[in-house]
């Protein structure tokens, strides 16, 4: 993808992290395995992200409809279960490319995406599994700690959509 990189084999650009594109386009209508992979990851991630987003935003709705259905702790665990495949499977390609950018010392958008979603997800896992590790000022009246599963989960399919487009 980067104009300074020329390679005889397909793969990721060592500078920008995007997939390398052929210099000459064939007239044959071939399938693009990377596009198929990103599309599948996007669709599955989107389906799993929607409930995470709705759960996270439910407190802002009048009457707080989820409060009567499940405790806040239960809702946090549901978000953890739904966000895990989105971040770890759907976003795995971003972690791979982000790591490659650190190793090659060519930081790029994948570095930022991997760090942002990774930190939000890991913080939220710790806050859900071990809220007692946080100071009292971090905890709500019910003992839970605010989490950012929805941020990590929403960013992942949005970036996947960008890759598909």
C-alpha R_g of the chain: 19
89-134 pLDDT tens trace = 999 999 999 999 999 898 989 999 999 999 999 999 999 999 989 9
Q: Reduce the DSSP state of residue 145 to 3 states and report it.
A: strand
Q: Given this model, what pLDDT does residue 18 score?
A: 62
- Angstrom distance (rounded) from CA 58 to CA 61: 5
pTM: 0.81
Look at residue 2 in the predicted model and tell me its pLDDT: 57
pLDDT of residue 6: 65
Judge contact between 20 and 1, C-beta under 8 A: yes
């Amino acid at each position: 993808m980067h104009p300074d990189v020329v390679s005889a084999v397909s793969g990721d650009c060592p500078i920008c992290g995007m997939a390398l594109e052929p210099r000459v386009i064939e007239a044959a209508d071939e399938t693009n395995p990377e596009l198929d992979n990103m599309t599948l990851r996007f669709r599955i991630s989107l389906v799993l992200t929607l409930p995470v987003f709705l759960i996270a935003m439910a407190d802002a709705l009048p009457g707080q409809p989820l409060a009567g259905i499940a405790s806040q702790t239960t809702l946090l665990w549901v978000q953890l279960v739904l966000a895990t495949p989105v971040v770890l499977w759907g976003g795995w390609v971003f972690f791979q490319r982000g790591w490659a950018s650190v190793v090659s010392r060519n930081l790029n958008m994948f570095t930022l995406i991997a760090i942002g979603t990774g930190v939000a997800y890991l913080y939220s896992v710790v806050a859900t599994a071990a809220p007692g590790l946080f100071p009292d000022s971090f905890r709500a009246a019910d003992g839970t700690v605010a989490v950012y599963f929805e941020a990590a989960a929403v960013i992942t399919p949005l970036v996947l959509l960008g890759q598909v487009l």
